[in-house]
């Protein structure tokens, strides 16, 4: 597999954490036992970036128990990944529409996500996703407060035109730069100023894109990423492209 990637001149992007941190203890322990094998394989393929998402609202109960259980659960995960030269990026899900109908909020802002990272393990970092940051009303200053080593991965996408930040839907995302709802150039410049030199990948959740033939999807995704990186001007990030876009099958 690595030879095929090398021959094509591409690198795989981040891989999803194969440990369900939201499951019961038995399922969690099973996933944890298999994690060293996954991490070793990922490292050998040249993709040390692992990621998972954090629910914006607990599905039941109250917020404090969720806080007290999530951070300790991430600690052994982060240790195993670090032992294999991998890092875990935590992504919070920002849209307000996803929290409607839930009594409590959990992780809904970049500040709360950074706090969870500090409680978990130094090997954890942030997966900086454009739509979650935009819909949580994060600012450029929020990004610039981070250090390069605190960012593991970057997801690029755009919002749906005609919707305010609080009206955006999590499973509906446009290609970066497609609508101009999100100021991608300012975001990328802020990321670049942190000194981050890891990968930036496209994450569109888009039914129209998914309906196209795979080769056409790849072309459109690649073109959108190249355009945005050129506009943003972060040379360090631009050098990491091309990557297989994260979430592409969606």
Query: Residues with Cβ < 8 Å from 131, sequence gap 6 or more?
Result: 94, 95, 155, 157, 158, 159, 168, 170, 173, 182
Q: What is residue 193's predicted lDDT score, i.e. its pLDDT? A: 86
Phi and psi, residue 60, nearest 5°: -155, 165
Q: What is residue 121's predicted lDDT score, i.e. its pLDDT? A: 62
Of 4-18, 100-114, 131-145, 164-178, the one with minimum mean pLDDT is 100-114
Distance CA 131, CA 189 (A): 16
Examine residue 168 and state whether it is found in any structural domain, yes or no: yes
By residue range, what is the domain housing residue 204? 2-238
Q: What is the pLDDT of residues 150-196, one digit of tens each?
A: 888 888 999 999 999 889 888 899 999 899 999 888 888 888 888 88
Q: Of the ranges 31-40, 128-137, 164-173, which is most confident? A: 31-40
Examine residue 248 and state whether it is found in any structural domain, yes or no: no
Q: What is residue 25's predicted lDDT score, i.e. its pLDDT? A: 78
Burial grade of 198 (CB within 10 A; 0-12, 13-18, 19 or more): buried
Distance CA 242, CA 11 (A): 7
**Entry field: residues in the chain:** 250
CATH number at residue 166: 3.20.20.150
Counting the structural domains of the chain, the total is 1
Q: What is the pLDDT of residues 74-92, one digit of tens each?
A: 888 888 999 999 999 888 7
Q: How far is CA 65 from CA 50, 57, 86, 198, in A?
A: 25, 12, 28, 34
Examine residue 51 and state whether it is found in any structural domain, yes or no: yes
SS3 at position 225 = helix
Examine residue 56 and state whether it is found in any structural domain, yes or no: yes
Residue 24 has pLDDT above 60, yes or no: yes
Residue 104 has pLDDT above 70, yes or no: no
| Whether the Cβ atoms of residue 113 and residue 138 lie closer than 8 Å to each other | no
Examine residue 62 and state whether it is found in any structural domain, yes or no: yes
Residue percentage of the chain with pLDDT more than 70:
72
Mean pLDDT of 51-64: 61
Confidence of residue 57 (pLDDT cuts 50, 70, 90): low
């Amino acid at each position: 597999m690595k030879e095929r990637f090398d021959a094509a001149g591409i690198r795989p992007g981040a891989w999803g954490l194969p440990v369900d941190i939201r499951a019961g203890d038995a399922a969690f322990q099973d996933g944890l036992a298999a994690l060293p094998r996954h991490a070793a394989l990922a490292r050998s393929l040249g993709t040390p970036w692992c990621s998972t998402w954090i629910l914006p609202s607990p599905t039941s109960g109250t917020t404090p128990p969720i806080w007290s259980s999530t951070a300790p659960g991430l600690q052994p995960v982060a240790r195993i990944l670090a032992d294999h030269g991998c890092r875990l990026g935590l992504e919070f899900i920002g849209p307000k529409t996803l929290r409607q109908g839930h009594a409590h909020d959990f992780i809904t802002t970049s500040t709360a996500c950074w706090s969870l990272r500090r409680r978990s393990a130094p090997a954890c970092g942030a997966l900086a996703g454009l739509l979650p940051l935009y819909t949580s009303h994060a600012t450029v200053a929020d990004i610039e407060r981070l250090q390069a080593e605190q960012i593991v991965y970057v997801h690029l996408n755009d919002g749906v035109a005609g919707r305010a930040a609080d009206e955006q839907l999590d499973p509906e995302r446009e290609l970066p730069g497609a609508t101009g709802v999100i100021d991608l150039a300012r975001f990328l410049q802020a990321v670049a100023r942190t000194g981050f030199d890891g990968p930036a990948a496209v994450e569109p959740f888009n039914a129209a894109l998914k309906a196209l033939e795979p080769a056409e999807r790849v072309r459109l995704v690649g073109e959108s990423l190249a355009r945005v990186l050129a506009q943003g001007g972060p040379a360090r990030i631009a050098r990491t492209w091309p990557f297989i876009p994260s979430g592409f099958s969606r």
